[in-house]
Each structure stands twice: as structure tokens, then as C-alpha cells.
């Protein structure tokens, strides 16, 4: 019989946060390693929301699904602007 007089303690492990840049980099490399065109595949995912555009190699699919698609577009555009000295 359980002792209902004591409070049980439960702790959920918190996943370490990963930046959008790190997600894109990991996904890009995973797609490249599997022989896909990373740009085409990432654009396909962003446009459609269909995760099957992203390989499951290196957990890339589950990783990219943790980031909102608008955040991916924002990060890509931000990097493009910085690399072209538009800011």
C-alpha cells in the first residue's frame, strides 16, 4: 500500500536550447551527407510544412520540427542581409 502522506517529487529533464542557426547548420549537413540538395529540401519544407523533405539522418527531421517555419525564414533572411552588408 502506498504512503499517501508524502508528496512525490517528479523532475522533467529540460532539453538544452539550440539556436535556429545550429538547427539549420545540422539539417544542412545531414541533407548534404545523404546526397540531397540542401537548399531545395529546406525550401520545400519551409514552403509546404511537410517534414518528409528533411532526412531523419542525424535526427535532422525532428530537430527542424522544433523550430517554427517563420523563424527559419527570419534566420535565413537575417544572415543573407548581414552577408550582403544591407544593414
pLDDT tens track for 28-76: 999 999 999 999 999 999 999 999 999 999 999 999 999 999 999 999 9
Task: Confirm whether 5 is domain-assigned.
Answer: no
Task: Confirm whether 10 is domain-assigned.
Answer: no
Task: Confirm whether 1 is domain-assigned.
Answer: no
Task: Confirm whether 4 is domain-assigned.
Answer: no
* pLDDT value at 15 more than 90: no
Comparing C-alpha atoms, which of 65, 12, 32 is closest to residue 41? 32
CA distances from 26 to 4, 42, 60, 84 (A): 47, 12, 7, 23
What's the pTM? 0.79
Domain count, the chain: 1
Task: Confirm whether 45 is domain-assigned.
Answer: yes
Task: Confirm whether 60 is domain-assigned.
Answer: yes
Residue 47 lies in domain: 20-83
Region of poorest pLDDT, from 12-16, 32-36, 80-84 = 12-16
Task: Confirm whether 74 is domain-assigned.
Answer: yes
Amino acid at each position: 500500500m502506498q504512503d499517501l502522506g508524502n508528496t512525490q517529487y517528479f523532475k522533467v529533464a529540460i532539453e538544452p536550447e539550440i539556436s535556429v542557426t545550429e538547427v539549420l547548420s545540422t539539417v544542412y549537413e545531414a541533407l548534404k551527407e545523404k546526397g540531397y540538395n540542401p537548399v531545395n529540401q529546406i525550401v520545400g519544407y519551409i514552403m509546404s510544412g511537410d517534414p518528409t523533405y528533411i532526412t531523419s539522418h542525424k535526427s535532422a527531421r525532428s530537430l527542424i520540427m522544433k523550430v517554427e517555419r517563420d523563424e527559419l525564414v527570419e534566420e535565413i533572411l537575417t544572415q543573407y542581409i548581414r552577408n550582403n552588408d544591407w544593414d
